[in-house]
Amino acid sequence: MSTSKNKLDTELVRELAEILSDANLGELEVEHEGLRVRVSKPAAPAVPSVAAMPAPAQNAAPPPAAAVSPDENRTGETPAPDETNAVQSPMVGTVYLSPEPGAKVFVHEGDKVKKGDTLMLVEAMKTFNPVESPRDGTVTRILVSDAQPVEYGEPLVIVS
């Protein structure tokens, strides 16, 4: 894992991703001198791969508590919000909406925030990690509740 590679690769990857997007491709793979890069679009929600993908847990009848992770259940209850401007959890942990129990929450829906403002905390292994706003904007939706466990990449809040 040489670090020099990382820098130079990401440039290439960015460029390939642009091409993918521009040319409206599904997948793109380049291999050259020991380096291989593949970029692909997420499978569109319409296509046959869904049908072809058996869902053992759902089909299999009485599995205890169904093989769906808790958070998937949760978001399943309400119509999925537009997550394009969502701030995602940078880590696995427990999310807190206020600095300490009983204190005021960092932000409410409708609040204006600046880039770098703390939106919430994620606690993992006894350390509290601030989740900062990536941009100036308005908090249009808070997607999690206080003290809820979150996984990596889980949308927490929408700032648009």
Using CB under 8 A, which residues numbered 46 to 85 contact a second copy?
Answer: 46-49, 51-52
Distance of CA 6 to the CA centre of its chain: 22
Nearer to a second copy, 48 or 101 (CB): 48
CA distances (Å), origin 27, targets 22, 38, 120, 125, 130: 12, 7, 36, 38, 36
Rule CB under 8 A: choose which of 12, 92, 111, 137 binds other proteins.
92
Angstrom distance (rounded) from CA 160 to CA 149: 24
Shortest Å, Cβ 14 to a second copy: 6
45: partner contacted, choices other proteins, a second copy, none (Cβ within 5-8 A by kind):
a second copy
x-or-dash string of contact with a second copy, 131-160, rule CB under 8 A: ------------------------------
List contacts with other proteins (CB under 8 A): 1, 36, 38, 49, 51-57, 59-65, 67, 69-70, 91-94, 124-125, 149-154
